[in-house]
Structure 1
Amino acid sequence: MPGCDVLSRRGLLAAGGTLLAAPAIGQDAYPSRPLRLVIPFPAGGPTDVYARFYSERLSRELGQPVVTENRGGAGGAIGSLEVARARPDGLTLLFGTASTHALYPLVTRQPQFDVAKDFIAVAEIGGGPLAWVANPSQPATLAAFMAAARSAQPHLSYGSPGTGTLMHLATELMKQRAGGVPLTHVPYRGAAPAMNDVVGGTIALGVNTFGAALPLHQGGRARMLGVATPQRHPRAPDIPTVAEALNLPGFQAVLWHAVFVPPGTPPAIVARLSQATNTMLADPAFRAALDGAGIVASEPGTPASAAAFIAAETERYRPIVEAIRPELDS
Structure 2
Amino acid sequence: MQDFSFTRRGLLAGGAALLAAPALAQTFPDRPIRLVIPFPAGGPTDVYARFYSERMTRELGQPVVTENRGGAGGAIGAMEVARARPDGHTLLFGTASTHALYNLVTRQPQYDAAKDFVAVATLGGGPLCWLAHPGQPATLAAFLTAARGANPPLAYGSPGTGTLMHLATEILKRESGATSLSHIPYRGAAPAMNDLLAGTLALAVNTLGAGLPLHQSGRARMLAVASNARAPQAPDVPTAAEALGRPGFTAVLWHAVFAPPGLPAPVLARLSQATNAALADAAFRTSLAAAGIEPAAPGTPESAAAYIAAEQDRYRPIVEAIRPELEG
Q: Specify the alignment match of 2:70 in structure 1.
A: 72
Q: Per chain length, whose mean CA-contact separation is higher, i.e. which structure has more relative contact order (CA < 8 Å, sep 6+)?
A: 1
SS, match of residue 245 in structure 1:
helix
Aligned in 2, Cα 1:136/1:286: closer, same or farther, shift over 3 Å?
Answer: same
Shift of 1:25: 5.3
Q: Is the 8 A contact 2:24 2:87 kept in 1?
A: no
Task: Tell me whether 1:254 sits opposite 2:252 in the alignment.
Answer: yes
SS, match of residue 27 in structure 2:
coil
Q: What amino acid sits opposite 2:142 in the alignment?
A: A
SS, match of residue 122 in structure 1:
strand
Q: Specify the alignment match of 1:296 in structure 2.
A: 294
Match of 2:52 among 51, 54, 78: 54
SS, match of residue 206 in structure 2:
strand
Shift of 1:168: 0.9
Shift of 1:222: 1.4
Quote the RMSD (CA, aligned, Å).
Answer: 2.0
Aligned residues: 308
Match of 1:233 among 220, 231, 234: 231
Match of 2:127 among 114, 126, 129: 129
Aligned in 2, Cα 1:194/1:33: closer, same or farther, shift over 3 Å?
Answer: farther
Q: Specify the alignment match of 1:314 in structure 2.
A: 312
- State how 1:1-330 maps to structure 2 within 5 Å: 26-330=24-328
Q: Gaps (5+ residues) in structure 2?
A: 1-20
Q: Is the 8 A contact 2:99 2:114 kept in 1?
A: no
| In 1: Cα distance, 2:273 partner to 2:81 partner | 21
Shift of 1:42: 2.5
| In 1: Cα distance, 2:166 partner to 2:74 partner | 14
Q: Is the 8 A contact 2:124 2:296 kept in 1?
A: yes
| In 2: Cα distance, 1:34 partner to 1:255 partner | 28
Q: Is the 8 A contact 2:145 2:178 kept in 1?
A: no
Shift of 1:170: 0.4
Q: Is the 8 A contact 1:281 1:299 kept in 2?
A: yes
Q: Is the 8 A contact 1:146 1:181 kept in 2?
A: no
Does 262-271 or 185-194 show the bigger shift?
Answer: 185-194
Q: Is the 8 A contact 1:90 1:261 kept in 2?
A: yes
SS, match of residue 115 in structure 1:
coil
Shift of 1:199: 2.3
Q: What amino acid sits opposite 2:192 in the alignment?
A: A
SS, match of residue 26 in structure 1:
helix
Does 218-227 or 31-40 show the bigger shift?
Answer: 31-40
Deviations 1:238-288 (A, max 9, x none): 112222323334322122111001112222222221111111111111112
| In 2: Cα distance, 1:112 partner to 1:272 partner | 29
| In 2: Cα distance, 1:182 partner to 1:25 partner | 60
Aligned in 2, Cα 1:101/1:136: closer, same or farther, shift over 3 Å?
Answer: same
SS, match of residue 114 in structure 2:
helix
Taking structure 1 as the reference length, what is the TM-score of the superposition?
0.86
| In 2: Cα distance, 1:89 partner to 1:162 partner | 35
Shift of 1:39: 1.5
| In 2: Cα distance, 1:73 partner to 1:162 partner | 14
| In 1: Cα distance, 2:200 partner to 2:48 partner | 28
Shift of 1:136: 2.2
Q: Gaps (5+ residues) in structure 1?
A: 1-22
Q: Is the 8 A contact 1:25 1:268 kept in 2?
A: no
Q: What amino acid sits opposite 1:220 in the alignment?
A: G
| Overall identity of the aligned pairs, in % | 73
Taking structure 2 as the reference length, what is the TM-score of the superposition?
0.87
SS, match of residue 193 in structure 2:
helix
SS, match of residue 53 in structure 2:
helix
